[in-house]
Amino acid sequence: MTNRRILRLTGADSHSFLQGLITNDVDKLAHGPIYAAILTPQGKYIADFFVVARDGGILIDVAETLGDMLTQRLSMYKLRADVVIETLDLHLHRGLGAAPDGAYTDPRNPALGWRAYRDMPQADDGTDWDALRVAHMVPETGIELTPDSFILEMGFERLNGVDFRKGCYVGQEVTARMKHKTSLRKGLARVRLDGDAPTGTELTANGKPAGTVFTQAGGQGLAYLRFDRAKGPLHAGEVAVTWTENSDN
C-alpha cells in the first residue's frame, strides 16, 4: 500500500480557505469526497490529494512523501484565517468491490475501488494497484506527477480533479488557458511495450525524443508523450512501444 499522510483542517474558515487554494470545488464535499491538487502560481503541480468532510472537519489524504511540504504550504497561506491544521494517526485502507461501512468510492474513477480511514494499518490484500492505474490512465504522486506537471496534461479533468466553474484558486489562470486550447500537444498516454523498460526511460520516434515511459504492468504502461512526435514507431531503449490511448479519451 502507498503510505499516506492524513491531515485534518478545523476552524470556521476551513472551507473558504481551501476553496481559494485547490483545483476542485469544496462545495462538492456535501455529496462526497473530491480529488484535487494545489498548484504554483504558474499552474504547475505541487501536490494531489483527496478531500473528505468528516466529523465536523475536513480530511486531506496525501502521499506521505508530500505530507510535510503540504502542511507547510497550507500554513503559509493560512495567515490569520481561523484554520487549524493537524496530522491524524489514521491509516488509509483500500479495496475493490462493495464499499464497507465508513468507506468512500474513489472520486477519480469507481473502477479504482473504495478508500477508508482507520486506526490500524491495512494488510496487503494482493491487489495490483499499478495495473489498475495503467488500465485507467491514473497518474501517481512522484512517478507520473512531478513538479514539472500540468494537471490537464495528466488527465485531471477526466479524473474529476478540477472544476472550471468555481472561483479563483492559485494557478487557475494558466489551467483555464490550457483548457481552452484547441488540443493538448503533450500529455499522459497509455502505451503497449514489447518488453520491460526502466521507469523514466526516454521514448524516441525516428530517433527524436518523444516522451518518457513510467509505470508498467501486464505489457502496458503510462507515458508522457509529445503527441506530434508519437505518430511513428516508438522505442524505449531497445523496446518497441505502441501508443494506444491519450489523455483526451
pLDDT tens-digit readout, 58-73:
999 999 999 999 999 9
Is 191 in the same domain as 174? no
- pLDDT given at position 124: 86
Which residues, 6+ apart, have CB-to-CB distance to 35 below 8 Å? 24, 48, 49, 50, 51, 107, 108, 156, 159, 160, 161
- Which residue, 178, 207, 222, sits at the end of a domain? 178
Structural domain of 158: 4-178
pTM (whole model) above 0.85:
yes
Q: Are the beta carbons of 165 and 175 closer than 8 angstroms?
A: no
β 45-54/34-39 pair status: antiparallel
Tens of pLDDT, residue by residue over 114-136, are 999 999 999 888 999 999 999 99
Parallel, antiparallel, or unpaired: how do β-strands 201-205 and 234-236 relate?
Answer: antiparallel
Instruction: Work out the pLDDT band at 246, boundaries 50, 70, 90.
Output: low
Clarify whether residues 172 and 189 are in a common domain. no
pLDDT, residue 51, reads 98
- Mean local confidence (pLDDT), 179-200: 92
The pLDDT of residue 247 = 44
- For residues 171 and 174, what is the distance between their CA atoms, to the nearest angstrom? 6
Statement to judge: residues 101 and 194 lie in one domain: no
Contact in structure between 155 and 109 (CB atoms under 8 Å): no
Q: Is the pLDDT of residue 191 over 70?
A: yes
Are 90 and 118 contacting, i.e. CB atoms less than 8 angstroms apart? yes
